[in-house]
């Protein structure tokens, strides 16, 4: 019967074995009705999708169309959809269900949630389902993948939070991994275990999935981020921030309890608040351990490397700045730290002691934990065209010492500057005879007082 209009329509679609696929009720229907109930236009529609003879999803709207041969139902106008088990609900302008693909597509002002994924006035939401494993009746649908585009895309679970503009989510490896790809202006992602927050323009995030207490528990495995990226996390007693990143990649190895990250920017800015360490650079790599702390796994920084860098360190005597660094690597483990920098003419400024040191390579070593908020340095070794300019106090006068040498070392505890090689020492120190004096020697030891503010003795070797 083609083109016939019907009142109080009820359409039931079944498999060849008699299993109910959907049941549609409507106030009116117009179309071609045959044994397969194909191509039917409906008014004031309520469509119930079935799984194993039990209702699973209900779709309600002003108008609808059912195409049995294509296996599709489309509902429009003030649409509401809900899963019978309460796992999902949404409202939208238009929705379509494809039976063979098990795909639910919603369009226009889509608001609601799919499990822990929620959205507000999204332009489009597409979700692919399957029967939930272990559900004997099959009344629950299991989300396999989802695509959301529009404002107000959010995900909330006890482990993870995400706010984005667009999101594609899919399960992989037998639902042991969940992959997110999307964008935001900016997006925001947060992992409670690491107390890690990342913002930016684009993301691709992979998380492990395990079942616990009837729900899925997520843990970060890797993230690839781009577009004005910033990151913030809190190792024990510290807050670490990264800004100015055009790209940033982080990998978390839960079993090995390790993490590593790499990024680039123009420039990148790194800050460790508790230790008063600040650095800028063109590229960055970092790594460390996942330290257990109250159920969390804090990302402790063990190693930091930068190129084209400038670094500010808070030392026990005051701040120090390292400039013109082609490469810089900072490591800290078990209460000890080391900073190594190289450059054509790197410079160390130590204004609290009125030191300026220049060299091709510098290595600073020390300990942590002695002075809260500062790194306690013990030695500084300089190599390659070393130049040291020191302003000291002799009596009530400021006097200057300038030294050039192939290599030099400064022992903070002994308060001794040792210069070796073909070197020159100049300045107006009283110990050099006063006035501008220049001396040469194979090696020189300059003994300071414990505060590094006064030269006590100068020892020179003879050729």
Domain presence at residue 307:
no
User: pLDDT for 143-183, tens place per residue?
Assistant: 788 888 877 788 988 999 999 999 999 989 988 999 999 99
pLDDT-based confidence at 5, cuts 50/70/90?
Answer: low
Of 111, 114, 109, 133, the C-alpha closest to 57 is 114
pLDDT score, position 369: 67
Taking residues 100-114, what's their average pLDDT?
91
User: pLDDT for 271-300, tens place per residue?
Assistant: 998 878 999 999 999 999 998 766 667 899
Alpha carbons 79 and 63: distance in angstroms, whole number: 9
* Both structure tokens of 258: 């390790």
Domain presence at residue 156:
no
Among 103, 119, 135, which residue terminates a domain? Answer: 135
- Counting residues of the chain whose pLDDT is more than 90, the rounded percentage is 50
Q: Among 229-233, 258-262, 294-298, which stretch is predicted with the lowest mean pLDDT?
A: 294-298
User: pLDDT for 366-424, tens place per residue?
Assistant: 998 666 778 899 999 999 999 999 888 766 778 888 889 999 999 999 999 999 888 88
Domain presence at residue 302:
no
- Higher-pLDDT residue of 288 and 39 is 288
pLDDT-based confidence at 430, cuts 50/70/90?
Answer: confident
Q: Supply the mean pLDDT for the chain.
A: 87
pLDDT score, position 425: 81
Residue with tokens 């139902």: 73
Of 179, 178, 230, 222, the C-alpha closest to 201 is 230
pLDDT score, position 136: 39
Total number of domains in the chain: 2
Among 100, 118, 135, which residue terminates a domain? Answer: 135
Measuring CA to CA, how many Å separate 67 from each of 9, 44, 127, 165? 15, 17, 20, 33
Counting every residue, how long is the chain? 463
Taking residues 136-140, what's their average pLDDT?
43
Domain presence at residue 246:
no
Domain presence at residue 390:
yes
Q: What is the CA radius of gyration of the chain?
A: 34
pLDDT score, position 334: 80
pLDDT score, position 135: 44
The domain in which residue 388 lies consists of 316-463
Dihedral of CA atoms 147, 212, 52, 49 in degrees, nearest 10, equals -30
What does the DSSP 8-state code read for residue 370?
S
pLDDT-based confidence at 1, cuts 50/70/90?
Answer: very low
Most confident of 62-71, 230-239, 301-310: 301-310
What is the bridge-based pairing of β-strands 355-367 and 117-131? unpaired
Domain presence at residue 421:
yes
pLDDT-based confidence at 318, cuts 50/70/90?
Answer: confident
User: pLDDT for 6-38, tens place per residue?
Assistant: 678 888 888 888 888 889 998 877 765 555 555
pLDDT score, position 115: 81
**What values do phi and psi take at 353, rounded to 5?**
-110, 5
Among 135, 166, 196, which residue terminates a domain? Answer: 135
What is the end-to-end Cα distance of the chain in Å, rounded?
116
Q: Angle CA(61)–CA(145)–CA(230) in degrees, nearest 5?
A: 110
pLDDT score, position 141: 61
What does the DSSP 8-state code read for residue 235?
-
Residue with tokens 């410079």: 347
Q: Among 122-136, 189-203, 212-226, 429-443, which stretch is predicted with the lowest mean pLDDT?
A: 122-136
With contact defined as beta carbons under 8 Å apart, do 64 and 48 qualify?
A: no
User: pLDDT for 40-56, tens place per residue?
Assistant: 788 899 999 988 788 98
Domain presence at residue 405:
yes
pTM, full prediction? 0.84
* Both structure tokens of 104: 């639910």
Residue with tokens 């947060």: 190
Domain presence at residue 375:
yes
pLDDT-based confidence at 132, cuts 50/70/90?
Answer: low
pLDDT score, position 17: 85
Q: Angle CA(281)–CA(284)–CA(285) in degrees, nearest 5?
A: 155
pLDDT score, position 274: 82
What does the DSSP 8-state code read for residue 132?
P
With contact defined as beta carbons under 8 Å apart, do 213 and 222 qualify?
A: no
Residue 439 has pLDDT above 50, yes or no: yes
CATH classification of the domain holding 78: 2.60.450.10
- Reported in sequence order, the residue ranges of 316-436 that DSSP labels E, i.e. its strands, are 318-333, 336-350, 355-367, 376-394, 397-411, 416-427
With contact defined as beta carbons under 8 Å apart, do 102 and 81 qualify?
A: no
């Amino acid at each position: 019967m083609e083109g016939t209009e019907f009142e109080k329509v009820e359409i039931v679609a079944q498999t060849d074995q008699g299993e109910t696929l959907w049941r549609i009720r409507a106030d009116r229907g117009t179309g071609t009705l045959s044994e397969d109930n194909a191509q039917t236009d409906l008014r004031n529609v309520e469509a119930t999708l079935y799984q194993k003879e039990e209702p699973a999803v209900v779709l309600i709207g002003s108008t609808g169309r059912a195409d049995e041969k294509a296996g599709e139902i489309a509902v429009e106008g003030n649409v509401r959809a809900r899963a019978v088990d309460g796992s999902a609900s949404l409202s939208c302008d238009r929705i379509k269900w494809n039976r063979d693909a098990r795909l639910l597509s919603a369009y226009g002002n889509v608001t609601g949630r799919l499990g822990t994924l929620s959205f507000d006035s999204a332009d489009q939401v597409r979700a692919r389902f399957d029967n939930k494993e272990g559900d004997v009746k099959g009344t629950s649908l299991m989300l396999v993948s989802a695509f959301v585009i529009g404002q107000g895309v959010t995900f909330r679970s006890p482990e993870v939070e995400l706010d984005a503009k667009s999101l594609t989510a899919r399960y992989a490896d037998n639902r042991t991994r969940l992959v997110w790809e999307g964008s935001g202006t900016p997006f925001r992602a947060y992992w409670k275990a690491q107390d890690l927050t990342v913002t930016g323009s684009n993301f691709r995030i992979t998380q492990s999935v395990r079942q616990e207490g009837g729900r899925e528990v997520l843990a970060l495995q890797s993230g690839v981020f781009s577009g004005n990226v910033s990151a913030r996390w809190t190792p024990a007693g510290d807050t670490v921030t990264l800004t100015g990143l055009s790209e940033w990649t982080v990998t978390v190895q839960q079993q090995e309890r390790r993490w590593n990250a790499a990024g680039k920017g123009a420039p990148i800015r790194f800050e460790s608040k508790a230790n008063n360490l600040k650095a800028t650079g063109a590229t960055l790599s970092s790594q460390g351990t996942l330290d257990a702390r109250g159920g969390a796994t804090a990302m402790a920084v063990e190693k930091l490397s930068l190129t084209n860098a400038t670094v500010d360190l808070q030392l026990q005597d005051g701040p120090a700045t390292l400039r013109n660094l082609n490469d810089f690597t900072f490591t800290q483990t078990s209460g000890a730290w080391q900073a190594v920098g190289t450059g054509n003419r790197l410079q160390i400024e130590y204004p609290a002691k009125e030191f300026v040191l220049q060299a091709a390579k510098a290595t600073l070593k020390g300990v942590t934990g002695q002075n809260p908020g500062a790194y306690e340095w013990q030695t500084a070794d300089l190599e390659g065209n070393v130049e040291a300019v020191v302003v000291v106090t002799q009596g009530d006068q400021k006097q200057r010492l300038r030294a050039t040498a192939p290599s030099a070392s400064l022992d903070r505890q002994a308060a001794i500057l040792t210069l070796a090689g073909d070197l020159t020492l100049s300045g107006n120190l009283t110990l050099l005879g006063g006035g501008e004096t220049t001396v040469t020697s194979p090696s020189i030891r300059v003994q300071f007082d414990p505060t590094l503010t006064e030269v006590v003795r100068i020892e020179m070797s003879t050729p």
